Each structure stands twice: as structure tokens, then as C-alpha cells.
Amino acid sequence: MTNTTATNAAIIRIRGLRKSFGEHLVLNGIDFEVMPKQVVVVIGPSGSGKSTLLRCCNGLEKAEGGRLDICGLTLVNDGLMLPDADLNALREEVGMVFQSFNLFPHLSVRDNITLGPRKLRGLSHAQAQIEADVLLKKVGLTDKANAMPASLSGGQKQRVAIARALAMKPRVMLFDEPTSALDPELVGEVLQVMKLLASEGMTMMVVTHEMGFAKEVADVVVVMDDGAIIESGPPETIFSRPSQERTRHFLQAVLTKA
Amino acid sequence: MELDFSPVWKGWPQLLEGALITIEITSISLLLGCFLGLLVGIGRLNPARRFIYVVCTAYVAAIRGTPLLVQLFILFFGLPHFGLLLPAFLCGVLGLGVYSGAYVSEIVRGAIQSIDKGQMEAARSIGLSSSQAMLEVILPQAVLRMIPPLGNEFIALIKNSALVSLLTIHDLMHEGQKIISISYRSLEVYLAIALIYFVLTGITTLALRKLEQHLKAGGMVQ
């Protein structure tokens, strides 16, 4: 899975990104890149700005400073956002999976998945359904196509949410703590789907506390603290020989808890 | 004192005709109120769209801050001064509809704002525009939450419609008063009118309860 073709243009390029909520500086000059087919896992203590960074990547948060290019478009540059119409088109290429699933509760599982393709990719009902059923098979929920979200377990909901994002045929997938709201016994089924995606060459940026996943799947682990990247590198290096004291502290705290 | 309901029995067809007018006028004002309420409620969601926000907020403040009777009289007795003479029925419908719209707009706004913001984010993150997200994702969920408070509003509207009898509209209240003016049996007739209003509001309550149960059974409401 390790990406060696570093000559490819980065699919996400972030330069000096800054973002604050009121007085509180959440992102303080972030620089990094994600290459096509790379899996980048972002870790760090809560409040370090991981989720905000991820949400900046599809314009759910607006960064006030710095520049963010994604999928060949400049999403934000010095506080200037991409116009709304272009932003909508861009979001079709950038899938997002949320911690709290955010399935549409009034739509069946299948309709959750087909809504985007029908409204945005111009697919007919029938075409969209065929695609949805392929995706449901991929995430192992063929039998739940007609179920309403309220009847699903957390793990099932999150797998539907992944299928919904994939239905737009994105070039990048962003995962915002996808397993943090799950009961421990349901985490595995979601991680398994994510591993499958990674093995198929999906470009992924994942904010998570699942260190096992990071070790096993990540090409690059990015450690954030206090709105900045304190170090990044291959998982072997980060987990066994971190260069920063803060990384060591954080890993110790997380791993002893686990 | 002895009660004599014979004028009520004799005037029954007249009362029913009045009740039909009441149903007609409240139904039309209800539609108008819902239409206005939806527009104004959405208009008040985003203060950044300054002009729309200010107009909608001023409308709600003006309507909620003044008595319905005064609003009806302004329409009926005031507008002719500007050469605008509207038929009484239209004044009644407009007055009730515009009045109801202000309250419905608050119901709409509250219901939309009660939808978890993750829903909008999820809809936007698959690429839907904000109006597509509103139409496909937010409103269908918000409408379900509007049903109980809208029920209250419908019932208030049915009762408030008695005021249009003062605009010479031949509604239930007006027909009752006509019977009283001949028979002088005010208590009996008012009791009969009260009973008819009670039946109308009761039917509305039951219908809305059924609707809610139906939607719950379909898994649309948690």
C-alpha cells in the first residue's frame, strides 16, 4: 500500500493553513500533502485540531489563512473560498464520513445511498439502485437495503454512511473519527471496510484514535497537537521511535488506555 | 330560568351552513398561512441575507404584536380609504391567513433549527446545494416535527375565525347571532355554536393524531 510514486501531483496540498474559532486558534499554520492512493492517518489529543483540519478539506470549515488545494482546485486561499457552485462540484469528489454517521433518517438505506447519484450524477432511479446494491454488497449490508436507519446498529449505520459517500465515486475519502461513537464490538466491522477501501487504492485521510488501524493501514501518520503538526512519518517510525516528547506522551496515554 | 332550544333546532340548517363557511374560510387561510409561514420561516433562518431577514422579522413582529381583530378591521374598513375595496370573504381569508402565517413561520423555523446540523453537513458533503439539501433532507424531517405545533395552530385558527363574523361574513358565529336576534335565546344558541366549534376542533385533533401515528408506524418519526 505504500505509495512510492511520489512524483505524482499531490491530491491534497495544504500550505500554512490557519483557522480560529473566535479567540481560539485551532489550526496554526498546517503544511502537508496527501498523494494519490495514500492513506494518511491523523492522530493527536482531542482539541488538537484534527477534525477541523479534515473539515477544512471539504469546505465544511473555512480556513482564514493559508491555502488548500484538493483534487486540482484551490478550495481556499487566504480566506477566499471557492464559489458555491464549484464547491458543490468539488464535494462530489471528496467523500466524507462523520463520527455520528449522519444518515438521513427519513430515507431507507438504499435511498440514503442513491440520493446523491440521482440528484447530482443524473442517474435514473434504476441505475442508482443497481450501483447502491453493489456498494451495499461491498460493505456487507445487502440484506439491509430497505431498512430504515433507525433500525440499524452503529456499525451498520457507519457502513451505510461509507457506501453513501462512495456512491458519488469520490477521488478522496475523509473519515472524521468514524469509529469513536461505536460500541467496542462494532469497531472492527467498520475498520474492515476501511481496510478494504485502502487495499483498493482509495486515497484516504483518516482522523482516528484506532492506533491498530494506523499501524496496519497508514502510509503516513500525522501527529497533531495544539493546532500544529508536531511530526509525521511512516507508522513504524512514529509508533516505535517518535522524535517528539509530546508524541511519546500521547501514544503512552492512548496505548495504556487500550 | 328555563332553557328553550327550539330556535336552535329550527335554525339548525342555518347553523350548518355557517359552519361550512367557517370550514371553508379556515381551510383556505390555513393553506395561505402554511405557504407564508414556510417562506417566512426559511427567510428568517439566515440573518446574513439581510433584506429578506429584516422583512420577514418585521412581518412576524407586526402581526404577533397586534390584535387579530384590529388587523381584520384595517383590511376591511381601512383599505377602502385607499380605494381598495376587497370582498368581505377575501378580507377574512387574507386576515386570518396572514395572521396565521406569522405563527406558522415560527413553527417552521423552530422545526428546521431542531434538525441536527450534521444532517445539513452530510447533505452538503455529498455535493448537494443548500437548497437541494433543504428540500431533500432537512424539510422532510422538519415537516414531521411541525405536525404537533401546527395542530395547535390549526385549532387556534378555527376558533379565531369567529372574528370574521364582524366583517359581515356569514360564518357559524354570524349565523348564530342572526338566530339570536330573532329568538333572543342567546345562551342556547351560543351553547350550540360552542358545541359545533368543539366538534370541528375535535375532528382536527383526531385527524392530526391519526396522521402522526401513521407516520410513526411508517418509521418516519422516531
- Place B2 in a pLDDT band, splitting at 50, 70 and 90: confident
Report whether pLDDT(A75) > 60.
Answer: yes
Torsions phi, psi of A202, nearest 5?
-70, 135
Question: Could you tell me if A105 lies within 8 Å of chain B, comparing CB atoms?
Answer: yes
Question: pLDDT band at residue B205, thresholds of 50, 70 and 90?
Answer: very high
Q: What is the pLDDT of residues B119-165, one digit of tens each?
A: 999 999 999 999 999 999 999 999 889 988 999 999 999 999 999 99
pLDDT of residue B220: 56
User: How do A39-43 and A220-225 pair as beta strands?
Assistant: parallel
Give B-chain residues touching A96 at CB under 8 angstroms: 121-122, 125
Under an 8 A CB cutoff, do B127 and A60 touch?
no
**Closest partner CB to B127 (pick from A92, A106, A151):** A92
For B128, the closest chain A residue by CA position comes to A88
How many A/B residue pairs have CB atoms within 8 Å?
A: 71
Give residue B182's pLDDT: 92
The answer to whether residue A195 scores a pLDDT higher than 60 is: yes
Of the candidates A91, A120, A150, the beta carbon closest to that of B222 is on A150
For A201-216, how does the pLDDT look when each residue is reduced to its tens digit (9 = 90+)? 999 999 999 999 999 9
pLDDT band at B221 (very low <50, low <70, confident <90, very high): low
Q: How far apart are CA A234 and CA A38, in angstroms?
A: 11
Do residues A67 and A78 lie in contact, with contact meaning Cβ atoms separated by under 8 Å? yes
Place A258 in a pLDDT band, splitting at 50, 70 and 90.
Answer: low
Mean pLDDT lowest for which of A6-15, A30-39, B41-50, B126-135?
A: A6-15
Closest Cα of chain A to B164: distance in Å? 40
> Among B124, B128, B219, whose Cβ lies nearest the Cβ of A119?
B128
> Average pLDDT, stretch B35-49?
94
The mean-pLDDT minimum among A33-47, A117-131, B3-17 falls in: B3-17
Mean pLDDT, all residues of chain A:
93
Mean pLDDT over residues A210-224, rounded? 95
Task: Say if residue A221's pLDDT is above 70.
Answer: yes
Instruction: Tell me the residue type at A207.
Output: V
SS3 content of chain B, % helix, strand, coil (to 5): 85, 0, 15
Sheet holding A65-70, edge to edge: A24-34, A12-21, A65-70, A73-77, A80-81
pLDDT at B4: 87
Mapped onto helix, strand or coil, the DSSP state of residue A67 is strand
The answer, yes or no, to whether residue A8 has pLDDT greater than 60, is no
What's the pLDDT at B219?
57
Q: How far apart are the first and last CA of chain B?
A: 54
Give pLDDT, residue B113: 96
Give how far A96 is from chain B: nearest CA, Å. Answer: 6
Among A46, A56, A38, A5, residue whose Cα is nearest residue A232: A38
Give me the residue from B125, B127, B130 closest to A89, CB to CB: B127
**Contact between A191 and A210 (Cβ < 8 Å):** yes
Is pLDDT of A5 > 50?
no
Residues of B whose CB is below 8 A from A102:
116, 118-119, 121-122
- Contacts with B1 (C-beta within 8 Å, 6 or more apart), sequence order: none
What phi and psi, each to the nearest 5 degrees, are found at residue A75? -70, -40
Note the pLDDT tens digit of each residue in A19-69. Answer: 999 999 999 999 999 999 999 999 999 889 999 999 999 999 999 999 999
CB contact under 8 A, A98 and B122: yes
pLDDT-derived band at B218, boundaries 50, 70, 90: low
Residue B43 and residue B39: Cα distance in Å, rounded?
Answer: 6
Average pLDDT over residues A175-187: 95
Q: What are phi and psi of B114, to 5 degrees?
A: -80, -10
pLDDT on residue B144: 87
Mutate to test the interface with B, among A102, A144, A180 (most CBs of B within 10 A): A102
Average pLDDT, chain B: 93
